[in-house]
Amino acid sequence: MENAGTGRRVAAHRRQSPLAFLTGSSLAQSASYALSAVLASKLLGPHQRGLMVLGITTASIAGLLSGLGTGSALRSRLPTVTGTPAGRHLLASYTWWSVVSAVAGSGLAVALTVLSAPLIDPGLADPPFLLAVLVITVGYVALTQFPDVWYAAGRFHAGSGWAAAIAAGGLVGVLVGALLDRTAWALLLAQGLGMVAVTVVQGYQLRVVGLFRLRSPDRRELVDLLRHGCRALGLTMGLALALRADRYVLGAVAGAATVGIYSVAATLSEGPRLVPAALGQIVNREVSLGGGLSQVARARRSALISSALMGLVVAVGGWFLVVPVFGDAFADARPLLLVLLVAEIAFAPFAVASRALLGGGWMTTAGLLGAGGSVAALILFALAIPLWGGYGAAVACILTYAGLSVASWRLLRRRLGRNVAPRPRETVSPPIRIGRST
């Protein structure tokens, strides 16, 4: 009995250590984004800030799409082949696809921005603004692709630390850009350059530790990586649309200035997501190594409790600080913040369960879940925003996030069962199906 109790305490300690670091790094990352948003909002005002938000939104979505879900595929498969030739081939394929993603994602972001200009604001199509979108998209591709390499190798400290460093690089860029030119495109370009600078250093560090391999990829392995990744793309893109499409619809209906006000509330409301996101990263790896439903259930409870407590803190602080910090022009962000915080609490179970689905290799299930969520989100945004503006977007977020949480948990229960999580055969290709590493 004593040995069993000791074992449970050791396991709990091993889990809490990366959780604390992931949460701290996520807090630092969120703080960098929040400070960047505060500075940009004060310097630019609602309209120019709205343009900048739309550029960032486009860059983040293009970065996710160009990765084609390969990060999820890598995290599901690498833990079982680490240190083997198959693992090295897998890393080489992932490295080269990440490079391709940076190029393809930048082009896609520019194209989407040009297409959005007639619907939202002509300023989106200005050449300097398009250059800024291109540069910052490279930073967002790295923010999407690189942390997954660290997490797949079990290096949570490094992965979360570098993600925070990229966000901090963006903040430094905004600070420097503010000294040169106070326009949306200038601050966006400066933020992107700061993120890219940190990305280059991180790429070198990945190369040093053997996780960034520039050897020629095996064509069959590359195709297999993309095939498995595309199955998860529905979740990746579905989540991106569920979290970001509100800005597009709101911009098309109410204009860039409304987007700028809404983005202040949306940015602050993401505070309660820190612990659920960190728990999701840990659960992803636990399930990929055979973790069961009980582990995910504990993580879900912790995610809900932490999200509710953090939401209360953000609600009180945001209500009293929004106007003094951002100015009277952003006063409408205060009631929006309260509604969006309810949405974030509803989002917490999904943050854990969706990562567990990816860790278990159920890419098709996760992809269909995300695709369904994106369709529901777009319908709700299209119906609610023309009627109630920003409040309609916030209510639509509550319904979307709650639906995703319920659906993801039910799907996960069916696949994990009550005690163990067998590795699904359909997600592991025959060439790399070997015993689990110890």
Q: What is the pLDDT of residues 21-62, one digit of tens each?
A: 777 777 788 788 878 888 888 888 888 888 898 899 899 889
Helix residue ranges per DSSP H, 68-155: 70-77, 85-116, 127-152
What beta strand segments (E) does 256-346 contain? none
Q: What pLDDT score does 270 carry?
A: 85
Q: What pLDDT score does 438 carry?
A: 27
Task: Read off the tokens for 54.
Answer: 């739309």
pLDDT digits (tens, 9 = 90+) for 272-329: 888 898 898 888 888 877 778 888 889 999 999 999 999 999 999 999 988 888 888 8
Instruction: Select from 373, 371, 60, 105 the least CA-distant residue to 244.
Output: 60
* DSSP 3-state percent helix, strand, coil across the chain (nearest 5): 85, 0, 15
Task: Report how many domains make up the chain.
Answer: 1
Q: What pLDDT score does 17 carry?
A: 63
Which residue's entry shows tokens 């709101």?
Answer: 250
Q: What pLDDT score does 421 carry?
A: 39
Q: What pLDDT score does 16 carry?
A: 53
Which residue's entry shows tokens 């693992």?
Answer: 87
Q: How confident is the model at residue 78 (pLDDT cuts 50, 70, 90)?
A: confident
User: How far apart are alpha carbons 127 and 125 in whole angstroms?
Assistant: 6
User: How far apart are alpha carbons 8 and 57 in whole angstroms?
Assistant: 43
Element (H, E) at 322: helix 293-326
| In-domain check, residue 31 | yes
Task: Read off the tokens for 44.
Answer: 């630019």
Q: What pLDDT score does 430 carry?
A: 32
| In-domain check, residue 431 | no
**Least confident among 75-84, 238-247, 354-363:** 238-247
The answer to whether residue 191 scores a pLDDT higher than 90 is: yes
Q: Please give the residue range of the domain that contains residue 304.
A: 2-420
pLDDT above 70 covers a percentage of the chain that reads: 88
The answer to whether residue 169 scores a pLDDT higher than 90 is: yes
* Angle, in degrees to the nearest 10, between helices 156-180 and 2-67: 40
Q: What pLDDT score does 427 carry?
A: 39
Q: What pLDDT score does 420 carry?
A: 42
| In-domain check, residue 202 | yes
Other beta carbons less than 10 A from residue 13's beta carbon: 9
| In-domain check, residue 245 | yes
**Mean predicted lDDT score pLDDT of the chain:** 83
| In-domain check, residue 436 | no
Judge residue 396's burial from the number of C-beta atoms within 10 Å of its C-beta, 0-12 exposed, 13-18 middle, 19 or more buried: buried
